């Protein structure tokens, strides 16, 4: 036993010594004093002696770089003329390209996040519809991406951004500087851009233009997909396709040009002294209100679903088929919103772009207080913390903060979100019960009502601390709302609201009325009762499920199960 104990002690001692020696050897290997580390940092204001920046030696590089201190050195600066070696011009050019590269990558990743919001919209809308329409609703959300993208590539982008350049944070896009203007009331009014068709016209075959196109395209597609929710369960697929093409080519780009592409709304500050002109940081108005107001026009034209209203005009609740999809979709949308708002700086470096941290926090906060507002309203009014309206409250808060996210502080963001959460509940009730307009997912209220609220809130809560390159819409200084001393900004925002109601609604209504005359907007009553999956798409969304049959009571409208309003809400 003693021999065994001695052997055990010996083994432990040997292991301990091995550990000590191994650690010392490893430290010796991983912490060599490199020439790069030893190089003195150049003084900030002195001319750079680039030859003094000694690169790591070949021996150092051969050892690997576990600490990351020898990767990315003077060796990696691109040299224009190898015969001259590294010059000051090389380093300055590299610094400029690094800044633009950071902004490119930031804007692209933000655009990818916004693109992923399409999945969120698809889940929310499909979950809030009945199972018999799952394939049809999903396919509208799926193909709106393709229809919208195609129309935007052909002409939408040119109409929107063709006159708004150059875009300094992306290093130029200098070709996008041709805006068609009208002379009216003694002023020049930008109406639409004329450069950038097909992304090949003139100098639009350009890396900065491509980044801008991708980012703006996914915004446009968000506006288009809002409409599919309000028109769900009764919209002909062919009418949807034509309507989406028109909206991607004309409706959205025109308003977006007026707000973001150098058009007349953005010139209200320079032309008429109204604050900084219409200011919509990430699109409460441009994206969400345009989508929501188009949804209102289309819902009016389509009329309500069969069974939504009784003969006395009282509404029936038509619950959606999967609340799990709805709330999962809301989370995806909230995630994507971090691309929507912070990405709208089009930069992460320079021009005040580090405010992306503040913008991201504002986005989180407004979504949070939006869901608070909705859940509290529903809980107090109906005695239950309703799930679908909590989701809509989250989205309402996010919609409302989209325009002011770059201009307000966290208190403003929280208040804006809280009001949006209550507002969406009131608006859903108003639209359903007073207007008697059927909106299966609450898109009019979430995006239309709260998009307008977001636009107005810029004119109230903008605190004058933002600084995106020293000016906004050509007016120097920061955007300030009424509460921070600039009533003119509120007037500019309200003119934007008037334009959303006046132009966007009238244009959308007329365009969709025309489609109704040519191909018809609404499916037949038989198809609607059967569910649109088979008549419109040729396949069921859930082929293995047995769907509940419809019942038609004698002498009345068919009563079906299925909306955003739960059954206990229709009791009063």
Partner 1 sequence: MKIVGILLVLIGWLVPVAALTVTQSMTARLILVLLGISISLFGVLWVLNKAHLKHAIWKS
Asked if residue 368 lies in contact with residue 354, where contact means CB atoms within 8 angstroms, the answer is no
Q: How far is the CB of 277 from partner 1 (least distance, A)?
A: 12
Residue 484, beta-bridge partner list: none
CB 70 within 8 A of CB 317: no
Per-residue tokens: 169: 């944070």
Instruction: Determine if 449 is a binding residue for partner 1 (CB under 8 A).
Output: no
Among 64, 96, 498, 520, binds partner 1 (CB under 8 A): 498
Using the contact rule CB under 8 A, the part of the chain among 25-33, 163-171, 494-502, 539-547 near partner 1 is 494-502
- Going by the DSSP 8-state scheme, the letter that residue 167 receives in this structure is B
In angstroms, the CA 277 to CA 263 distance is 10
- Interacting residues with partner 1 between 183 and 202 (CB under 8 A): 185-187
Q: Which of 54, 503, 529, 559 binds partner 1 (CB under 8 A)?
A: 503
C-alpha distances out from residue 364 to 127, 335, 405, 452, Å: 24, 9, 10, 20
Q: Per CB under 8 A, does 421 bind partner 1?
A: no
- Answer for which of 79, 199, 241, 301 binds partner 1 (CB under 8 A) is 301
Is 474 among the residues that bind partner 1 (CB under 8 A)? no
Comparison of 100 and 274: residue with beta carbon closer to partner 1: 274
Phi-psi category of 528—alpha, beta or left, where left has phi over 0 and alpha has psi -120 to 50?
alpha
We find the least distance from the C-beta atom of residue 500 to partner 1, in angstroms, to be 9
Among the listed ranges 24-32, 217-225, 265-273, 463-471, the one in contact with partner 1 (CB under 8 A) is 265-273
Tell me which H or E stretch contains 46. none
Nearest approach, Cβ of 556 to partner 1 (angstroms)? 10
Applying the rule CB under 8 A, the residues between 546 and 565 that interact with partner 1 are 557
For residue 126, give the DSSP letter.
H
Structure-block tokens of residue 275:
């604050």
In whole angstroms, give the CA distance from residue 91 to residue 73: 11
Q: Which residues contact 22 (CB under 8 A, 6 or more apart)?
A: none
- Of residues 303 through 332, those in contact with partner 1 by CB under 8 A are 303-304, 306, 308-311, 313
182 three-class SS: strand
Does residue number 490 form part of the binding site for partner 1 (CB under 8 A)? Answer: yes
From candidates 226, 242, 256, 296, binder to partner 1 by CB under 8 A? 296
Between residues 68 and 313, which has the closer beta carbon with respect to partner 1?
Answer: 313
- Cα–chain-centroid distance for residue 169? 19
Say how many residues touch partner 1, by CB under 8 A: 38
Choose one: 18-26, 182-190, 209-217, 358-366; the region binding partner 1 (CB under 8 A): 182-190
Please give the Cα distance from 81 to 90 (Å, whole number): 9
Stretch in the footprint of partner 1 (CB under 8 A) among 99-107, 219-227, 321-329, 483-491: 483-491
Please tell me whether residue 237 binds partner 1 under the rule CB under 8 A.
Answer: no
Measured in degrees and rounded to the nearest 5, phi and psi for residue 187 equal -130, 165
Are the beta carbons of 341 and 362 closer than 8 angstroms? yes
Query: Considering only 3-11, 18-26, 173-181, 503-511, which stretch makes contact with partner 1 by CB under 8 A?
Result: 503-511
- Give the residue with the Cβ less far from partner 1, 47 or 313: 313
CB 169 within 8 A of CB 353: yes
Among the listed residues 178, 295, 285, 213, the one whose alpha carbon sits nearest the alpha carbon of residue 247 = 295
Closer to partner 1 at the Cβ: 363 or 489?
A: 489
Q: CB atoms < 10 A from the CB of 87, how many?
A: 16
Rg of the chain over all Cα atoms, to the nearest angstrom: 29
- To which H or E segment does residue 184 belong? strand 179-184
- Closer CB to partner 1, 308 or 355, in the complex: 308
> What is the H or E stretch that residue 358 is in?
helix 356-382
Task: Tell which one of 102, 199, 210, 501 touches partner 1 (CB under 8 A).
Answer: 501
**Rounded distance between C-alpha atoms, residue 66 and residue 163, angstroms:** 49
Which is closer to partner 1, CB of 209 or CB of 479?
479
Per CB under 8 A, does 403 bind partner 1? no
Question: How many CA atoms does the CB half-sphere of 472 hold within 13 Å?
Answer: 27
Which of 418, 437, 443, 537 is in the footprint of partner 1 by CB under 8 A? 437
Q: Which helix (H) or strand (E) is 181 found in, with range? A: strand 179-184
Question: Out of 300, 317, 328, 387, which residue is the one contacting partner 1 (CB under 8 A)?
Answer: 300
Output 274 or 462, the one with its CB closest to partner 1. 274
Per DSSP (E only), the strands in 247-308 are none
User: Could you say which of 17, 354, 506, 514 contacts partner 1 (CB under 8 A)?
Assistant: 506
Residue closer to partner 1 (CB basis): 39 or 301: 301
User: Could you say which of 268, 346, 408, 532 contacts partner 1 (CB under 8 A)?
Assistant: 268
Kindly state the tokens that stand for 469: 């390159």
Tell which one of 199, 494, 529, 559 touches partner 1 (CB under 8 A).
Answer: 494
The DSSP bridge partners found for residue 222 are: none
Q: Is the peptide bond before 327 cis (omega within 30 degrees of 0)?
A: no
23 near partner 1, judged by CB under 8 A = no
Q: Which stretch binds partner 1 (CB under 8 A): 46-54, 141-149, 170-178, 180-188?
A: 180-188
Q: Is 483 one of the binding residues for partner 1 (CB under 8 A)?
A: no
Site residues, partner 1 (CB under 8 A): 185-187, 268, 271-272, 274, 296, 300-301, 303-304, 306, 308-311, 313, 435-437, 487-488, 490-491, 494-495, 497-499, 501-503, 505-506, 509-510, 557
């Amino acid at each position: 036993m003693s021999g065994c104990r001695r052997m055990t002690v010996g083994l432990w001692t040997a292991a301990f010594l091995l550990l000590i020696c191994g650690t010392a050897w490893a430290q010796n290997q991983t912490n060599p004093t490199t020439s790069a580390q030893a190089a003195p940092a150049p003084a900030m204001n002195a001319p750079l002696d680039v030859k003094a920046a000694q690169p790591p030696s070949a021996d150092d590089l051969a050892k690997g770089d576990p600490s990351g201190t020898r990767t990315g050195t003077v060796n990696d600066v691109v040299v224009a003329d190898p015969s001259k070696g590294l010059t000051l011009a090389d380093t300055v050019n590299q610094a400029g390209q690094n800044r633009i590269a950071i902004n490119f990558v930031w804007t692209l990743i933000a655009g990818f996040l916004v693109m992923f919001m399409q999945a969120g919209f698809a889940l929310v809308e499909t979950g809030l519809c009945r199972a018999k329409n799952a394939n049809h609703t999903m396919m509208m959300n799926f193909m709106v991406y393709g229809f919208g993208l195609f129309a935007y590539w052909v002409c939408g982008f040119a109409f929107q951004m063709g006159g708004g350049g150059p875009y300094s944070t992306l290093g130029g896009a200098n070709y996008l500087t041709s805006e068609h203007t009208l002379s009216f009331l003694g002023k020049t009014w930008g109406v639409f851009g004329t450069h950038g068709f097909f992304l090949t016209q003139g100098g639009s075959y350009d890396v900065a233009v491509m980044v801008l196109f991708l980012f703006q395209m996914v915004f446009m597609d968000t506006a288009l997909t809002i409409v599919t929710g309000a028109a769900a369960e009764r919209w002909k697929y062919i009418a949807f396709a034509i309507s989406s093409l028109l909206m991607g080519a004309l409706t959205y780009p025109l308003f977006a040009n007026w707000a973001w592409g150098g058009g007349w709304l953005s010139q209200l500050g320079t032309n008429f002294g109204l604050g900084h002109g219409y200011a919509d940081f990430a699109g409460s108005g441009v994206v969400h209100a345009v989508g929501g107001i188009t949804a209102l026009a289309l819902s009016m034209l389509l009329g309500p679903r069969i069974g939504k209203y009784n003969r006395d005009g009282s509404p029936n609740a038509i619950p959606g088929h999967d609340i799990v999809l709805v709330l999962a979709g809301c989370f995806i949308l909230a995630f994507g919103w971090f691309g929507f708002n912070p990405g709208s700086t089009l930069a992460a470096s320079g021009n005040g772009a580090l405010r992306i941290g503040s913008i991201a926090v504002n986005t989180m906060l407004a979504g949070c207080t939006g869901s608070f507002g909705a859940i509290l309203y529903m809980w107090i009014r109906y005695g239950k913390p309703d799930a679908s309206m909590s989701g809509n409250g989250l989205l309402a808060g996010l919609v409302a903060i989209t325009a002011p996210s770059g201009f307000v502080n966290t208190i403003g963001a929280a208040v804006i979100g809280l009001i949006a959460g209550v507002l969406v509940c009131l608006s859903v009730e108003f639209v359903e019960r007073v207007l008697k307009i059927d909106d299966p997912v609450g898109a009019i209220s979430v995006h239309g009502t709260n998009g307008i609220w977001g636009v107005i809130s810029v004119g109230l809560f903008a605190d004058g601390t933002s600084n995106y390159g020293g000016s906004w819409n050509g007016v120097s200084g920061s955007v300030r709302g009424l509460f921070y001393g600039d009533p003119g900004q509120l007037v500019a925002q309200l003119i934007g609201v008037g334009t959303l109601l006046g132009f966007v609604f009238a244009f959308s209504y007329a365009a969709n009325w025309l489609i109704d005359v040519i191909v018809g907007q609404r499916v037949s009553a038989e198809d609607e009762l059967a569910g649109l999956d088979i008549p419109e798409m040729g396949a069921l969304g859930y082929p293995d499920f047995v769907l509940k049959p419809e019942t038609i009571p004698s002498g009345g409208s068919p009563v079906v199960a299925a909306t955003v309003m739960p059954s206990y809400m229709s009791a009063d």
